[in-house]
Chain A
Amino acid sequence: MARIVVITSGKGGVGKTTTSAALATGLAKAGHRTAVVDFDVGLRNLDLVMGCERRVVYDFVNVINQEATLNQALIKDKRVPGLCILAASQTRDKDALTDDGVARVLKELSEDNDFIVCDSPAGIERGALMAMYHADEAIVVTNPEVSSVRDSDRVLGILSSKSRRAEEGREPIRERLLLTRYAAERVAQGDMLSVEDVQEILGIELLGVVPESKAVLNASNAGIPVILEEDTDAGQAYQDAVARFLGEERPYRFLDVQKKGLFGRLFGS
């Protein structure tokens, strides 16, 4: 039985897809069989970030509609063994994700995987609710600003009341916070909320802090999950987060303002 992990946020553009790609890749690299599923019907881009957009033949909705088998639709990652991707459909309407269909696909994926990572769309509508419903764990991706924190808080409320675990009265979803696009200078200047501010409001365990970094855009343009860019700050921050996810303790990095030398200015963040 796989553990189902939803990557969610409420607010759009905070780094859910970046995180889904990084987490799934990191888990697979650590030897866990992992599937990553794009729930963002109509706006699929997980396949782009994972660099497999040209290999998508069938997608999630095809499998739900039984136009293809799961095996036909799953794309095996070429870099990391044990990792596969289920792309979202590009065009279909959002109602294509039926309750039964999603449940069936996740159940089937569960048989051959240790983890299923669900990349949620923004918002709190159907697609996002579907991605959350079956979760065992949630990673709430939040940027250090008031509107993002507010939306994350809202999502946490939904996770605790509308999930399958809540409905069945089982142990609640394990919720953890990933603070991304963290710009230490702007926090120091008071333009952004600090880690402590965000934690005070959300009150959940901190999985990691990913700095604002050019490396993220570069990596996704190249179709490489940033966690594989091992010399970048964001890549390392994601490595730390995955290690913590798997139970390791690691100190938090990238929280303080760093003086940038010439080298940093040329190549770094």
Chain B
Amino acid sequence: MTQATQKANSPLELKGRMMTLTVLRLLDPSVEVLARELDRRMQDAPDFFRHLPVILDVEAVDDSDLHQDLPGLVGLLRAREFLPVAIRGGGEQWNAAAREAGVGVFSGGSEVPAVRGQTGRPRAVQEQASVSPSTVVEQPVRSGQQVYARGGDLIVLAPVSPGAELLADGNIHVYGSLQGRALAGVRGDTGARIFCQKFGAELVSVAGTYSVSEQFEESVRGAAVQVSLRDGDVLDIRPL
């Protein structure tokens, strides 16, 4: 065996890589309140949360006693099929609790997600690296229904009713009228966009930045539009 092949076959490789993770901010020091709220949200979007790696941001509850319950809280999240990986934003007592709970501690780490597409690297390269499957829906998406395209784009070839919800890690295309809610880039892809043929959405969101119906300009109502994120925090809704 030559040196070269040995190197190529090395069973381990350590790489520093930036990834987008969902941050779950704890805003109430009571485990009970948090559990109830989690259950409520999961009812709305059970598939979205399943096996979702999350970082617990404890900044807002740093000086409460919640750290004593961290192992319990982590267990509670795991029971609901979340994957809590680390905490951030807590003091010394939190770091000790994290060790006990078997999760890591994220130091630093700003909340600004990595901007992709606009700066530096050409976008095509990134897409080559991860060809992701699209989800195609041919039936109308009705009130109370939710469709989530994990890891890729969502393409809907029928109308989306008021009260229906579309979620995608990538882009959302609606070749029909969009009356419900559409959330693209739900795992933080700020380059994701929403396209639709007839715009009447109740809410649109890209990478967590959202805008609701009252905020839309009259000129885009009923029009064919695309929704994208400008400067990282402004939603741009433009006729196609």
A and B: interacting chains: yes
Contacts of B164 in A (CB 8 A): 157
Contact (Cβ within 8 A) B161 A153: yes
Contact (Cβ within 8 A) A153 B159: no
Chain B interface, DSSP helix/strand/loop, else mixed: loop
Contacts of B143 in A (CB 8 A): 150-151, 153-154, 157
Chain A interface, DSSP helix/strand/loop, else mixed: helix
User: Which 4 residue pairs spanning A and B have beta carbons closest together?
Assistant: A157-B142, A153-B143, A154-B144, A154-B143
Q: Quick one: which of A164-205 are within 8 Å of B by CB?
A: 200-201, 203
**Interface-centre pick from A150, A200, A201 (highest chain B CB count, 10 A):** A201
By beta carbon, the residue of chain A nearest B161 is: A153
Check if A156 is an interface residue, CB within 8 A of chain B.
Answer: yes
**How many B residues have CB within 8 A of the partner chain?**
14
Q: 17 new A-B pairs (CB below 8 Å) besides A153-B144, A154-B144, A157-B144?
A: A150-B143, A150-B162, A150-B163, A151-B143, A153-B161, A153-B162, A153-B163, A154-B142, A154-B143, A154-B163, A157-B143, A157-B145, A157-B164, A160-B142, A161-B145, A201-B161, A201-B179
Contacts of A201 in B (CB 8 A): 161-162, 179
Q: When chains A and B are docked, how far (Å) is the Cα of A161 from the Cα of B144?
A: 12
Q: When chains A and B are docked, how far (Å) is the Cα of A154 from the Cα of B179?
A: 14
A-B pairs with beta carbons under 8 Å apart, 26 shown: A150-B143, A150-B162, A150-B163, A151-B143, A153-B142, A153-B143, A153-B144, A153-B161, A153-B163, A154-B142, A154-B143, A154-B144, A154-B163, A156-B140, A157-B141, A157-B145, A157-B164, A160-B139, A160-B140, A160-B142, A161-B145, A200-B177, A201-B161, A201-B162, A201-B179, A203-B159
Residues of A within 8 A of B (CB): 150-151, 153-154, 156-157, 160-161, 200-201, 203
Contacts of B161 in A (CB 8 A): 153, 201
Q: When chains A and B are docked, how far (Å) is the Cα of A108 from the Cα of B4?
A: 75
By beta carbon, the residue of chain A nearest B162 is: A150
